A and B are shown apart, each in its own frame.
Chain A
Amino acid sequence: MPQRPGESVSEENRNPDADADAIRQICDRYANDRHRMMDILRDVQDRFRWISPEAMVEIATRTGLTRIAVEGVASFYAFFTQQPAGRVTIRLCDDIVDRFAGLPEVTAAFEKALGIGIGQTTPDGAFSLEYTPCIGLCDQAPAAMVNDIVVTALTPERVHEIVRQMKDGQRPEDLVSHRFDEIRPYERAARMVQNNVRHAGAVLLGPVPQDAGLAKALGLSPSQIIDAVEASGLRGCGGAGFPTARKWRAAAATGAERRVVIGNADEGEPGTFKDRVLLTERPHLVFEGMTIAARAIGASEGILYLRGEYVYLRDLIEETLAERREKGLLGKRIMGVEGFDFDIRLQMGAGAYICGEEGALISSCEGLPGEPKTRPPYPVNRGYLGFPTVVNNVETFSHVARILDRGAGWFYAMGTEGSHGTKLFSVSGDCINPGIYELPYGATVQELLAMAGGDDAEAVLVGGPSGTMIARDTFDRRLTFDDLATGGAVVIFNGKRNILEIVEYYMSFFVHESCGYCTPCRVGNVFLQKAIAKFRAGLANPGDIDYLKDLSATIIETSRCGLGMTSPHPILTTLENFPLVYSAMVKPTRDRIRDTFDIQSAIDGARKLAKRRSYIFDKDYGQ
């Protein structure tokens, strides 16, 4: 178990030998395996509240790596720090939904109560305050992580209460319950976070008989399982919509001594939180689906990759896995089937949106920085540690379990042509009933808005920032793969919201989350962000609209992975659907002299240094 904040070692009393010993123990816990670097670094971070240069040297020695290789991983993930973090680290979610829900007041309250600004640590090392992108709690914003627990629906009053409790020496866990250690993980999660299931569909959130799908799958041959998945029309639920059966068939057909099944629970797309609810309410269903996949492709190893922001669900998931092992649903001879061995380990992420990309996710599982892998080879041929690997969203696996139980035809009949079954939609923003809606594919945005009470919506972002922002005149568009494809995020904005502010936030998000591997995404997104800032400041010229389109096209066409191929979408889709927002902000330059250059601020330093004013630009001066 990770160290509690109260027990962690203070900077002044550090004993280098004891520290090295503790790090060695942590490395031993993972057999000094470099591929478990994420776990090693997380434990070191929890124990010492940072990853010091000495720690990196020790880890490198134990795992047979260079220090720079360890630093490469440690410096990639936002939740690992190279400066001592506070014993209580508060990460405020600064998603745009949180901003509109009162984040500025909440931030001010934390800053006042703690006496530090964002990005700072109190001198006594007790508290750190940070911003972090969407933590998957948009339906109960503003929200924050306090070490490994989450707090939601924050108000300045609640902030004062939290800080008072922490300053009284209570643990973050006490914010949930003083009996935190005694209550079951499910209850802990339920006390921290509302599920907000607003509409349960037939597949996932309605009544689900446990492991009925797995039992039926074990009566089929592996290829029959894949046939059933294919016949159901199931496509990936993470956003890209790749046919699930095709992925599985390719992995099964690749000759290998080991195969791997990975459940992707790294839902980082701002505005998405369906996996959070699925893992809270239907964890068995997720693992049942992964086990069926293992049977279908002949895998013996499974990994659930859980985003670092969902660490509060870790105990619940570990408990579920332990329960399944006890019941013979994981481990050797699953359900008594000779030769069917499969187990799942939990891999925690550490604050990196890019790890939702399957190659980056595999890199992270291998203990590397979360950089996408070169394709080809595709993961189904050479994935985790070089073995054929199926990575599916956890919602996809859950559907599989239900398809095997109820039959492919039952699933296929739901939805529309090309988009079969149901989908979990995470609805947040300006509506009365934010939360989870499980609907068959094919509903219109208007229908969803009516259910969610988003009557005064002026803009709806479908699929998160990498998706599409639509305006009122196209609310009749449908939530299907062929129209508005989405991993499930639906963010609603009313007429009071500033579209350019929203776009600027999302561009800053992509700048923050780009891995930096390829030029267009690393650099181009920074240029886009700067260009949008110009629009917001009223300093853009008519030519800047073409510049946005042109630069976006280059980024999309040359980027290495899906992040860069979609990161200009907030700009492109708002240019298309809200053109007036942009044209209202542009003005031609006067005399072709740039307004973006501000002579007054440029000479201000010199004015102060020379202790005189400008003959040229202080008009009232001189002569």
Chain B
Amino acid sequence: MSGFTFTIDGVDVPAQDGQTIMEAADAAGVYIPRLCDHQGLRHQGGCRVCTVKAAGRSFSACTQPATPGLQVENETPHINKLRRDLVEMLFHEGNHLCPICEASGNCELQAMAYRLDMTAPTKFPYLEPSRALDASHPDIALDTNRCISCGRCIRASQDIDRKGIFGYVGRGIRRRVAVDGADLAHTDAQVTDHAISDDVCPVGCIIRKRVGFATPIGERKFDQGLIGHEIEERGDD
């Protein structure tokens, strides 16, 4: 593997052949916002929150290979606006009622909204889909009202757990995550699956029963700091 450098917002970032922009950025302590991408899972490039620009073109940093000398724009006002639009689209596509959600405070969608300053009155309509809750499984519940179609559970179940419990069905605005059975109880899902762990679902869609609301407000994951701060702290070392 040969090394080279490219820049993100003017800062030199070292990279290896075959690395994506995001992989190299993560290693260098430069945070590029993302929702569908997750450590240890295949890259998907679906949420588009990691959109960056170089030479007038835009692409998803999680899938685009880094190349020598590439000058990447990441946290510019323009790109932050695009990302804010995308995150807001996700909020409006599903039913995201933060005050009643047990993922609140640990939710990456919410945390991304904080990071991107999503505080202005909205321009978008709420789509308010009606989606059923699947509480059939003794240990796990699925509330797809909060699903953002990131597909992390699908990839985790397929590639890590080797079970394939989740999958996309339908297309377009009707595309949604479904389970490999009549309901979750009729699958091989176990609460110990990686796909079910609190790490994988970025929102409050996959719920482990009887553990919700255990952490007091103030001590939850994103009460501690903005999303991405762990990666950014790597850069400070």
Q: Is the beta-carbon distance between B45 and A523 smaller than 8 angstroms?
A: no
A210 within 8 A of B: no
Minimum CB–CB distance from B13 to chain A (whole Å) comes to 19
Q: Which residue of the partner chain B has the closest CB to A534?
A: B125
Query: C-beta contact mask, B88-118 vs A, less than 8 Å → 1, else 0?
Result: 0110110000000000000000000000000
Contacts of A559 in B (CB 8 A): 48
Q: Looking at the complex, which one of A68, A354, A511, A524 makes contact with B169 (CB distance below 8 Å)?
A: A68
Q: Which residues of A contact B125 (CB under 8 A)?
A: 527, 530
- Contact between chains at B65 and A560 (CB < 8 Å): no
A75 within 8 A of B: yes
Q: Which residues of B contact A560 (CB under 8 A)?
A: 45-46, 48, 60
Interface 1/0 per residue, A364-376 and B, CB below 8 Å: 0000011000101
Residues of chain A within 8 A (CB-CB) of B93 are 519, 522-523
- Is there an interface contact between A558 and B168, defined as CB atoms closer than 8 Å? no
**B173, A518: Cβ atoms under 8 Å?**
no
B16 at the interface (CB under 8 A from A): no
A72:B169 contact, CB within 8 angstroms: yes
Given that A523-B90, A526-B127 are known contacts, is A69 also in contact with B173, CB under 8 Å in the complex? no
Are A519's CB and B90's CB within 8 A? yes
Contacting pair A516 B89 (CB below 8 A): no
Chain A residues numbered 259-280 whose CB sits less than 8 Å from any CB in chain B: none
B95 to chain A, nearest CB (A): 14
Contact A520–B89 (Cβ < 8 Å): yes
- Bitwise, B126-168 to A at CB < 8 A (1) or not (0) is 0100000000000000000000010000000000000011111
Contacts of B124 in A (CB 8 A): 527
What is the total number of residues of chain B having a CB less than 8 Å from a CB of chain A? 41
Minimum CB–CB distance for A375 against chain B, Å:
8
Question: Which residue, of A513, A520, A551, has the highest number of chain B Cβ atoms within 10 A?
Answer: A520
Q: A387–B46 Cα gap in the complex (Å)?
A: 24
| A516-B149, A558-B51, A560-B48 known; A72-B172 Cβ under 8 A | no
When the two chains form their complex, are residues A67 and B181 in contact, meaning their CB atoms are under 8 A apart? yes
A557: which B residues are within 8 A, CB to CB?
51, 58, 82
New A-B contacts (5) at CB < 8 Å, excluding given A68-B179, A518-B45: A68-B165, A370-B171, A520-B85, A522-B172, A523-B92
Chain B interface (Cβ within 8 Å of chain A)?
A: 43, 45-49, 51, 58, 60, 63-65, 81-82, 85-86, 89-90, 92-93, 123-125, 127, 149, 164-175, 178-181
Would you give 10 A-B contacts (Cβ < 8 Å), ordered by A?
A67-B180, A71-B178, A72-B169, A75-B169, A514-B173, A516-B149, A520-B89, A527-B92, A527-B124, A547-B123
- Listed from nearest, the 4 A-B pairs whose CB atoms lie closest are A516-B175, A68-B167, A68-B180, A523-B89
